A and B are shown apart, each in its own frame.
Chain A
Amino acid sequence: MANNSVNYKCPSCSAPLAYTPGGGSRIKCEYCEAEFSVEELEQLFKEQEAAALEAQKAKDAKVEKKQFEMAEAGGAWGDEEIAILKAMTCSSCGAEVVCDNNTLATECVYCGNPVMVPGRYESQLRPDMVIPFQTTKQDAKKAFAKYHNGKWLLPSNFASAARVEAIQGMYVPYWLFDETVDADAEFSATKTRHYTDGDYDVTETDYYKVLRSGTMSFHNVPVDGSVKMDDTWMESIEPFDYSQMVPFTTTYMAGFLADKYDVDAEAALPNAEVRIKESADGVLRNTVNGYDSCSTESMSVVRTDGKQQYAMAPVWILTTKYENKPFTFVMNGQTGKLVGELPVDENKAKMYWGLGALVTLPLTYWICKWIVLILMEAMRD
């Protein structure tokens, strides 16, 4: 059977190779412990990819022929389904692996070996940069255990009952925007003085129009380029350490899932610019000193220079199930920052509500009693 997928096989023992998080630019075979540089494997991948593409073309032609046969049997793949789905053969075990059009890298569901999808960079941009994984699956498990530890409203049996269904390392497509901006802002500010004049308390307020302008540059403002990944979740695992970002090579994809972008740079840019504008406002506002209050009246930010990069960022996705409900957690594959929503035990919530009320009652009673006494005294006078 011709292989129409690609994975990195050890040139020494033919075992599948996978990138080890934190392994730098070298990949080590888990079986024979032979080490290879990224460049060496890149060259190997190019050759494999060319062969796999040929095999894929042949397979696609075969699939088309099959459609007629399937139609006679009463079922056929629709054009839309064919456009979305991609079938290929695992180069390790020969099983058929199906994925969608955005998949760049996945793993074989039968043998678990990493599978790269060839030719996926032809129609869309090839990533410029990649931030390699620095954390392992074990780190993700530890971070998850640490995260739910000490949460008062967590169901008591969550730790034992919540089964980690899957932990998947995934490269998420990101757009990184560099922008230099001219920012102009108008603030309304006040200075207030209080003093007494005879029988009067006097409050004097001076009003000022404060104008500020400035230029500033932002580097690598990230916006995720995947529709599947929730923007808020991806923002929550920021920031990434860009000092570890390296030019893209598929070698780092080995052993992880990877999607290509389905939100292009033009669509992602407004998200970045909203954040840039907010920060520019903060920068200019910080220069308004010596006032008692300050509010922004108007703000304009004009981009004078800008460029974007297409990068792949590492993310661990943990899926757990508790009482038949799925709970997903996401961890920054570089820094180990884990985010997610834990289930709430409503009975515990009610108990802590009552307990909180009971504990604070002596204090609130004492305060309210004094307030009542003071009010009664005021009314009496």
Chain B
Amino acid sequence: MKKLLTIFMSLLLLLAFSMPVMAKTETTTKVKPTQTTGQTNKQVQQEGKLPENLGAVSLHDLENLLKPDQQAALLQKLKEIEQKHNVRVVVMTVPQDDKTSKESGIKKFADDTLNKYYRDEANNNGSIMLMICPKARKWAVTTDNNMRARITDENGYPAIKDVFLGEIKDGKDDYNAAFNNYADKVDELLTYYETEGEPWDPANEFSFMGLILGALCSVGLGWLFVQHLRGNMTNVRHVAQADDYLDRNTVNITRESDIFQRTSVSRTKRERKSSSSSGGGRSSSNGGGSGSY
């Protein structure tokens, strides 16, 4: 009996020690990136710095957020957009470290990466990169000057930000949809620029809501106009004063007394933009912005 108990305890211990090793093996085999991105990912993880050939590929899912088929499809989409518009459209997910856990840090990291590996303003129409650190829940979008002329910081960047943030914020975490939305929006904005000859500006877009509100306001203004015209149809007015009959020379002010009573003070805290929201971290040579989600 004692011998059986010893064997059982030995098996339990063996099982307990072997669990972490099994778990590690499972993680390694669960996400298997595509050949091209996988190689650079390993290099980044192993060396702790970005390899020289990083710019060869436009998708680097270092955090393995996408399935292989999703990666392949997205990579294909990015390539098509790049060829169509002669640009670089990059998506990158990065691990958490001192840089990527801060909004300003991830923006600078994204700027540096774009400038070093993808920026080629002499030969293409611009570069744009979306970098996400899922563990720190930080993101950054960066553009070079060529791309800034096509996707402006004032209008294009907020539109891009909206489409990918909508898929990952509030715990939604649908990164595949977020990256595809980002790529589609970039394609749409670049197509707009090439068609219209100017960057997309929501002020130039038709606004259905603006039309509805404008129509309501116009109906109100039309009514006021007609009321004014109706008012012109009569000049019969009640006269409440006798100012015409006041003899100004007889006015004699006999008492002028101003008595201070009290002072009331109201203090309102001035609103400041919350640092947890998107935006900020912009440099002069790069556009875009960064934020948390």
Contact = CB atoms under 8 A, between A and B. Distances in A.
Contact of A221 (B242, B265, B266): B242
B257 A210 contact: yes
Contact of B247 (A203, A204, A217): A217
Interface in A197-222: 197, 199-222
Nearest to B165: A380
Main secondary structure of the interface of B (DSSP, over half): mixed
A218 B237 contact: no
B270 A357 contact: no
A381 B267 contact: no
Contacts of B261: 207-209
B273 to A, nearest CB: 6
Main secondary structure of the interface of A (DSSP, over half): mixed
B230 to A, nearest CB: 6
Interface stretch (A67-75, A131-139, A313-321, A362-370): A362-370
A121 interface: no
A278 interface: yes
A354 interface: yes
Contacts of A282: 241, 243
Nearest to A348: B229
A247 B235 CA distance: 31
Contacts of B245: 218-222, 239
Contact of B226 (A233, A287, A349): A349
Contacts of A220: 245
A232 B229 contact: no
Contacts, number: 226
B238 A232 contact: yes
A373 B259 contact: no
A370 B211 CA distance: 11
B253 A278 contact: no
B243 A353 contact: no
Contacts of A180: 250
A272 interface: yes
A340 B236 contact: yes
Given A153-B233, A356-B221, A214 B253 contact: yes
Contacts of A349: 226, 229-230
A108 to B, nearest CB: 32
| Size category of the binding interface on chain A | 35 or more
A278 B226 contact: no
A109 interface: no
A212 B255 CA distance: 5
B223 A353 contact: yes
A216 B217 contact: no
Contact of A279 (B234, B242, B277): B242
A43 interface: no
Nearest to B158: A380
Contacts of A13: none
B187 to A, nearest CB: 22
Interface string B196-238: 0000001100010111011101110111011001101111111
A365 B236 contact: no
A279 B253 contact: no
8 contacts: A152-B229, A199-B270, A205-B265, A206-B260, A208-B258, A283-B251, A342-B234, A356-B223
Interface of B: 158, 162, 202-203, 207, 209-211, 213-215, 217-219, 221-223, 225-226, 229-230, 232-247, 250-270, 272-273, 277, 279
Task: List 6 A-B pairs, minimum CB-CB distance, nearest first.
Answer: A369-B210, A356-B222, A365-B214, A357-B222, A213-B255, A275-B242
